[in-house]
C-alpha cells in the first residue's frame, strides 16, 4: 500500500472513530432531553461510523492475532500513561484548564489499569488459555477499570460503586 493511501486510511479511521463516539454522546444527550427518535438517529449513524472505521482498520491490516492485538493494546496504553497524558496534563496545568486536567488525570489512571489487565491477558493467551471468567467493572464517571468487586467508591474519582458498569 502506498504511503499516501495508508496515511489517508489512518486519518479516515481516526475521523470515523471520533464521529462514532461523538454521535453516541449526542444520542445520550438527545435521550436525556426526551428526543428518543433523534437519539435513535444518532445511534444508527454512530454505528455506521463504527462500520466505516472497522473497514478502514481492516484495509490497514490493523487486526492481527489476539497475542499481537494485546501487544498493540499494551503499547498504546503504555504510551498514553508514560508520554501522552503526562505531556498533555503539563500543558493543561500551565494553562489553568481544570476540567481538562481532571479528564486527563482520570483517563491516565484508567489507562494504567488497562495496560495491566492487557498484560495479564497476554500472558494467559501466550500460555494457550483464555483469561479466567471474572467480573470486569468500569466506573461510568472516569473509566477506571478493574476486576473482581468494585469498592464502595471509585479510587480515582470517588463515584459510588452503584455507578460502576459490569462486563
Verify that 76 and 122 share a domain, yes or no: yes
Q: Kindly indicate the confidence band of residue 63, based on its pLDDT and cuts at 50, 70 and 90.
A: very high
> Which grid coordinates are listed for 146?
478493574
Contacts of 90 (CB under 8 A, 6+ apart): none
Verify that 85 and 108 share a domain, yes or no: yes
The closest alpha carbon to 13, from 42, 76, 55, belongs to 55
Verify that 50 and 81 share a domain, yes or no: no
Domain containing residue 44: CATH number:
1.20.1260.10
| Mean pLDDT score of the chain | 96
SS3 call for 99? helix
Instruction: Using the predicted structure, report yes or no on whether residue 18 has a pLDDT greater than 80.
Output: yes
Verify that 31 and 11 share a domain, yes or no: yes
Verify that 70 and 119 share a domain, yes or no: yes
Domain count, the chain: 3
**Chosen domain end from 44, 59, 74:** 59
CB-based burial, 66-97: b 16+ in 10 Å, e otherwise: eeebbbebbeebbebbeebbeebbeebeeeee
- Residues 5-10, mean pLDDT to the nearest whole number: 95
Share of the chain above pLDDT 90, in %: 97
Q: Please state, in angstroms and rounded to a whole number, the distance separating the CA atoms of residues 159 and 138.
A: 11
Q: Which range marks the domain in which residue 81 is found?
A: 65-132
Verify that 81 and 123 share a domain, yes or no: yes
Q: Kindly indicate the confidence band of residue 157, based on its pLDDT and cuts at 50, 70 and 90.
A: very high
Q: Kindly indicate the confidence band of residue 27, based on its pLDDT and cuts at 50, 70 and 90.
A: very high
Verify that 98 and 108 share a domain, yes or no: yes
Residue 138 backbone dihedrals phi, psi, to 5 degrees: -130, 130
- Residues 120-138, mean pLDDT to the nearest whole number: 95
Amino acid at each position: 500500500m502506498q504511503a499516501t493511501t495508508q496515511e489517508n486510511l489512518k486519518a479516515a479511521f481516526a475521523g470515523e472513530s471520533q464521529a462514532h463516539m461523538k454521535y453516541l454522546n449526542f444520542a445520550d444527550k438527545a435521550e436525556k432531553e426526551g428526543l428518543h427518535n433523534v437519539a435513535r438517529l444518532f445511534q444508527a449513524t454512530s454505528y455506521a461510523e463504527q462500520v466505516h472505521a472497522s473497514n478502514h482498520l481492516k484495509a490497514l491490516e490493523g487486526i492481527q492475532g489476539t497475542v499481537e492485538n494485546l501487544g498493540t493494546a499494551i503499547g498504546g496504553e503504555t504510551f498514553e500513561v508514560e508520554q501522552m497524558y503526562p505531556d498533555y496534563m503539563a500543558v493543561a496545568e500551565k494553562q489553568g484548564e481544570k476540567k481538562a486536567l481532571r479528564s486527563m488525570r482520570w483517563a491516565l489512571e484508567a489507562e494504567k489499569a488497562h495496560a495491566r489487565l492487557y498484560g495479564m491477558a497476554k500472558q494467559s493467551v501466550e500460555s494457550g488459555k483464555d483469561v479466567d471468567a471474572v467480573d470486569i467493572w468500569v466506573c461510568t464517571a472516569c473509566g477506571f477499570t478493574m476486576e473482581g468487586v468494585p469498592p464502595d467508591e471509585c479510587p480515582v474519582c470517588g463515584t459510588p460503586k452503584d455507578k460502576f458498569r459490569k462486563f
